[in-house]
Amino acid sequence: MMRICSDHPARQRRAARPPIARAAGPGEAGGATAELVVATPLLLLLVLLVVQFALWQHGAHVATAAAQEGARAARLEGGSAAAGRAEAADFLATLAPTLVRDPRVTARRDQATARVEVRGTAEAVVPWLRLPIRAAVEAPVERFRAPDEPVLGTRTGGSGP
């Protein structure tokens, strides 16, 4: 009788073979298909949610930029709240006409500050998900004053606190 050593080439070839896949039992038929039917829609939903949140973030940045442009126009000497509102609305219409849905621009200007606020919702990729967008910018109003005129909000006269 002939014995084969563990370092014999024939034994090494047998050990290097991949294991043979066993056949599915009667209760396991179609298991991979069922897993695929469940996993594919979940994976697609995950991808759509990532795209939705990216659009929301981009829309928030665009709304902030529009509010900044509106505040810039409203704070100028001789500017007005209407000029700020128009500048912000024009910025949104030019840069992202469909990114911020139903945009509402409000502007206010008083003696010291100009404020522009942009509200809307993000473009919807996922039908049941409506993400709000809100950006507000407030800036001091430009005002030229005489050298001896006090700055608004500061105390005059006296020394010390």
Shortest CA distance to 70 belongs to which of 81, 58, 54? 81
Residue 62, domain member (yes or no): yes
Residue 85, domain member (yes or no): yes
In which band, very low, low, confident or very high, does the pLDDT at 147 lie, cut at 50, 70 and 90? confident
Determine which helix (DSSP H) or strand (DSSP E) holds 33, and give its type and residue range: helix 31-75
Instruction: Tell me the mean pLDDT in the region 80-105.
Output: 94
Residue range 72-84, pLDDT digits in tens: 999 998 899 999 9
Chain Cα centroid distance, residue 89: 20
Domain count, the chain: 1
Chain Cα centroid distance, residue 110: 32
Q: Would you say 118 and 111 are in contact if contact means Cβ atoms under 8 Å apart?
A: no
Residue 27, domain member (yes or no): no
Residue 159, domain member (yes or no): no
pLDDT mean across residues, the chain: 84
Instruction: Tell me the mean pLDDT in the region 94-123.
Output: 94
Residue range 124-134, pLDDT digits in tens: 999 889 999 99
- pTM comes to 0.69
Position 38 scores a pLDDT of 82
* Cα–Cα distance for residue pair 102/123, rounded to 1 Å: 10
* Cα–Cα distance for residue pair 71/92, rounded to 1 Å: 14
Q: Which amino acid is at 90?
A: D
Residue 104, domain member (yes or no): yes
Instruction: Tell me the mean pLDDT in the region 133-145.
Output: 91
Residue range 31-78, pLDDT digits in tens: 777 788 888 999 999 999 999 999 999 999 999 999 999 999 999 988
The whole domain housing 57 covers 47-140
Determine which helix (DSSP H) or strand (DSSP E) holds 93, and give its type and residue range: helix 81-95
Residue 16, domain member (yes or no): no
Position 50 scores a pLDDT of 96
